């Protein structure tokens, strides 16, 4: 106790100065929208930088597994390219490649990941300087990940599927019936698909895809498979979906940029 009192007495001027500085900064931030935005942006940059350093060691320990997954993904992409080349006219493919693409993908790395909260989020090591902005989609080689919430110069925060605020239009692959995919706050391995009518034909193991009704994600991105279903809510199924994305082992992702997103949203907003 005496040691603490001597410390306070010795550094009383410095402690008083720091205390008054904290009060001054707090008052400035509370009364200035600009300063508040700057502080939030600075906090995102600093926390993102620290997350990236801490996560580097974790990623190093799993390099062999990550490299294997990347090799598998490259194989899938080559197979798709071969399929396109063999099924489409060469001139048509060349024209499409030379034209303006609909979607552009920005490779990124997860530097922070929470999975056991009700409102989980991710932090990516790419931001506005690399072309990552709010409301851009995020996918991995396993499936869909989430949506960019905000970005700073070099980092971005993402709302994943396993966040209570996340909702997305999704459809059943075999029938094209579309509903709303959301998380019930329980296991990070599962989500719930609702608003599928009782007359739709369902089967355990059927694949759930993005419907394409959103301006954020293209149609056909895999989300998971039907694990079980019931008619507990009257005329609509309550479908339990086993997610393809393993959020506990998530490192490499791609951020999707839709070049036509603004045009689509502007047109849709005219009728709301």
Higher pLDDT, 144 or 93: 144
Lowest mean pLDDT among 50-64, 131-145, 189-203, 246-260: 50-64
What distance lies between CA 185 and its chain's CA centroid? 16
Q: Are strands 144-151 and 137-139 parallel, antiparallel or unpaired?
A: antiparallel
The arithmetic mean of pLDDT across residues 241-256, rounded, is 92
Q: Is the pLDDT of residue 94 over 70?
A: no
- At residue 64, the pLDDT reads 62
Computed over every residue of the chain, the mean pLDDT equals 79
Per-residue DSSP letter, 217: S
Q: Is the pLDDT of residue 59 over 70?
A: no
Q: What is the token pair recorded at 16?
A: 């008083």
The arithmetic mean of pLDDT across residues 110-115, rounded, is 91
Q: Confidence class of residue 205 from pLDDT cuts 50, 70 and 90?
A: very high
E strand spans, 86-214: 103-113, 122-124, 137-139, 144-151, 156-160, 167-172, 178-182, 190-197, 207-210
Q: Are strands 178-182 and 167-172 parallel, antiparallel or unpaired?
A: antiparallel
Q: Is the pLDDT of residue 173 over 90?
A: yes
Tokens 């080349």 appear where? 85
- Residue closest to 188 by CA, chosen among 162, 222, 165: 162
Q: Confidence class of residue 98 from pLDDT cuts 50, 70 and 90?
A: very low
How many residues are listed for the chain in this entry?
272
What distance lies between CA 99 and its chain's CA centroid? 28
Share of the chain above pLDDT 70, in %: 67
Q: Confidence class of residue 19 from pLDDT cuts 50, 70 and 90?
A: confident
Q: Is the pLDDT of residue 78 over 70?
A: no
Per-residue DSSP letter, 88: S
Per-residue DSSP letter, 129: G
Lowest mean pLDDT among 30-34, 118-122, 177-181, 227-231: 30-34
Q: Classify the C-alpha dihedral 211-267-131-95 as positive or negative.
A: positive
The arithmetic mean of pLDDT across residues 85-109, rounded, is 56
Residue 12 to residue 203: CA distance in whole angstroms: 71
The arithmetic mean of pLDDT across residues 72-79, rounded, is 58
Q: What pLDDT, in 10s, does the model give residues 23-51?
A: 776 766 566 666 566 666 666 676 766 66
Residue 134 to residue 127: CA distance in whole angstroms: 10
Residue 8 to residue 234: CA distance in whole angstroms: 67
The three-class DSSP label of residue 124 is strand
E strand spans, 34-130: 103-113, 122-124
* Percent composition of the chain: helix, strand, coil (DSSP 3-state, to 5): 40, 30, 30
């Amino acid at each position: 106790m005496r040691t603490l009192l001597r410390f306070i007495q010795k550094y009383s001027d410095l402690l008083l100065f720091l205390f008054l500085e904290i009060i001054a900064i707090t008052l400035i931030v509370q009364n200035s929208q600009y300063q508040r935005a700057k502080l939030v942006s600075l906090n995102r940059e600093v926390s993102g930088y620290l997350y990236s350093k801490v996560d580097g060691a974790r990623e190093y320990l799993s390099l062999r597994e990550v490299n294997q997954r990347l090799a598998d993904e490259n194989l899938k992409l080559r197979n798709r390219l071969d399929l396109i080349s063999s099924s489409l006219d060469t001139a048509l493919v060349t024209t499409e490649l030379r034209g303006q693409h609909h979607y552009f993908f920005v490779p990124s790395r997860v530097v922070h990941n929470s999975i056991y909260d009700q409102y989980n989020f991710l932090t990516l090591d790419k931001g506005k300087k690399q072309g990552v902005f709010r409301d851009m989609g995020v996918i991995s080689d396993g499936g869909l990940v989430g949506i960019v919430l905000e970005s700073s110069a070099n980092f971005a925060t993402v709302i994943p599927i396993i966040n209570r605020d996340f909702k997305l239009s999704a459809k059943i692959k075999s029938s094209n019936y579309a509903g709303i995919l959301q998380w019930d706050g329980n296991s990070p391995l599962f989500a719930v698909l609702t608003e599928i009518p009782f007359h739709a034909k369902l089967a355990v193991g059927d694949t759930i895809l993005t419907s394409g009704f959103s301006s954020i994600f293209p149609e056909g991105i895999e989300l998971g498979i039907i694990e079980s279903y019931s008619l507990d809510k009257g005329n609509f199924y309550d479908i339990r979906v086993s997610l393809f994305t393993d959020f506990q082992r998530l490192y490499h992702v791609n951020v999707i940029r839709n070049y036509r997103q603004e045009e689509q949203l502007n047109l849709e907003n005219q009728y709301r």
